[in-house]
Amino acid sequence: MHAKWNHEWSPREPWSRPSGPGARGDVWAAMWAEWWRGPSQRCERGLVRYLVLDAIATQPRHGYEIIQYIGDKSGGAYRPSPGVVYPTLQMLEELGHARTSARDERKVYEVTNDGRRDLAAHADEVADFYEGHAEESWDRHADMARLMSRVGRLVVAFKREWRRGTIQPATMRKIRRVLDESLSELEKLLAPEDP
């Protein structure tokens, strides 16, 4: 029995709509879901403090607003967890780089003069972080989606013919040779040797 396509289609992910013979998603859906998560969206531990300082430099914010600010400014590429933000805020308070005040019965954090000086000394790192995520454009994701779609078509074609039992040993050897040559070329493109 085949697994059904269980990835909901959305307008932001038009390529996720099932298509092709049988519109099955089993192996392909798993591959796609794994790719779509993308590389681990983390931030170097030392940089988080400057992202937090940057978030509170323009206006006082509470923890959730800081998380939201960083997530929005990075285009959704990095959204720190409360388990990262709150200990960082506590550390910044202990260093004298942030202080708390009350706003609408909530504790908000604002930057101190020492915090502003520290942030200014690391402004390039903060800018580099956000600029790096700005380059993760939608076009780049769409290009990868088109490539992954081709990989998916290949998987579906092999599965279909394998189940039908129509691939003869001689054909299988030819296919292996074509794939070996293609993989060799692709590996050179993806990981070129240092000059």
Per-residue model confidence (pLDDT) at position 89 = 94
pLDDT at 131 exceeding the cut of 90 = no
Structural domains in the chain, CATH included, are 24-39+138-190 (no CATH), 45-134 (1.10.10.10)
Give the range with max mean pLDDT: 45-49, 82-86, 159-163: 82-86
Distance CA 95, CA 89 (A): 10
Residue of higher predicted confidence among 192 and 90: 90
Share of the chain above pLDDT 90, in %: 35
List, for residues 145-155, the tens digit of each pLDDT value. Answer: 778 888 888 88
Distance CA 91, CA 142 (A): 40
Q: For residue 145, what are its two tokens?
A: 């989606």
Taking residues 11-19, what's their average pLDDT? Answer: 42
Share of the chain above pLDDT 70, in %: 69
Taking residues 62-76, what's their average pLDDT? Answer: 90
Mean residue pLDDT across the chain: 77
Per-residue model confidence (pLDDT) at position 87 = 93
**In which residue are the tokens 């029995």 written?**
1
Q: Which of 136, 121, 110, 114 is nearest to 47 (CA)?
A: 121
Reduced 3-state DSSP string for the chain: CCCCCCCCCECCEHHHCCCCHHHCCHHHHHHHHHHHHCCCCCCCHHHHHHHHHHHHHCCCECHHHHHHHHHHHCCCCCCCCHHHHHHHHHHHHHHCCEEEEEECCEEEEEECHHHHHHHHHCHHHHHHHHHHHHCCCHHHHHHHHHHHHHHHHHHHHHHHHHHHCCCCHHHHHHHHHHHHHHHHHHHHHHCCCCC
Taking residues 109-137, what's their average pLDDT? Answer: 85
Per-residue model confidence (pLDDT) at position 165 = 85
Q: Which of 11, 10, 7, 71 is nearest to 35 (CA)?
A: 7
Per-residue model confidence (pLDDT) at position 66 = 95
pLDDT at 109 exceeding the cut of 70 = yes
Per-residue model confidence (pLDDT) at position 133 = 63
How does residue 193 score in pLDDT terms, banded at 50, 70 and 90?
low
